[in-house]
Structures are given as C-alpha cells and as structure tokens.
Amino acid sequence: MADSIAQEAAGLISDAGGLTPFIRDYGFGGILYAIFLAIIGTIDAAGDVILAPFQALAGGLAGLVDGTLGEAVNVLGAGADSAIASFETGATALLGPFAFPFAVAIAMLGVFVFVEFVRRLEFSPLIFVRNRVGR
C-alpha cells in the first residue's frame, strides 16, 4: 500500500514538472485559490443582501396582483360552472342562465372596490420609508 501511495505521489510530481511546480500548483496555489474563492463568495453574498429586499418586494407585488385579479378569474370560472349547473338543479337554478353574467358583475365589483381603495389610499412607500429612516 505504501508503494502505491509513493508511486502515485511520484506520478503527480512528475506530471506537474518537478517538486517546485508541484508545491506552487498544489500547495501555495491551492491556498490562494481558496482565498480567492472566499473573497468571491463574500462579494456574491453582499450582492444578495442588497438585492433581497427588492426580490421580496417583487414577490409580494406578484402575490398582490395574483390575489386580486387571479381570484376574480376563479370567480368567473365558478360562475360559468354555476351557469352550466343551473340548467340542471340546485341553488343556482334560481338564477338560471343569468348565473354567469351575475358572476361577471360580482368579479367586476370586487376589482372596482379594490381600485377605489388603492385610489383613495394616501400612501407612498417612499414617504413611509423616508419617515421611518429619517427619524
């Protein structure tokens, strides 16, 4: 076993071009490589720290749009299903074929209420942050 380890080490040294290039490449060069990798990792992490709030804001805005407009689409789908089911039996049979237009009106009313809420809300994220940080 010792012979195979010695032969492998001798092969690595001869492949590197001698003992001095071997130490430079695998000894000191490896240490410098590790140091540069740590520096690059630190710079990458600092960039992630700077970008994290913006990524969270983008995710939150996407969730807000999905929650307001995406759910309205689900209401329209449920209204269409109710309109189809209304031709059979059930609670929606009272609306008959008007179940789908009624669902459209409800979805539009929901979007209108949300838009009016946002329009009347006197809130600016920049003013909010400036008031909190400026103190």
Which phi and psi (to 5°) does residue 134 adopt?
-70, -10
Q: What is the pLDDT of residue 99?
A: 72
What would the pLDDT profile of 12-38 be if each residue is shown by its tens digit? 777 777 767 777 667 667 777 788 889
Measured CA to CA, the distance from residue 84 to residue 78 in angstroms comes to: 10
What would the pLDDT profile of 65-103 be if each residue is shown by its tens digit? 787 777 777 777 777 777 666 666 666 667 777 777 877
| Residues ≥6 apart with Cβ < 8 Å to 16 | 22, 25, 26
Looking at the 3D structure of the chain, how many domains does it have? 1
Q: Is the pTM of this model over 0.95?
A: no
Which phi and psi (to 5°) does residue 124 adopt?
-125, 125
Q: Which domain holds residue 44?
A: 2-133
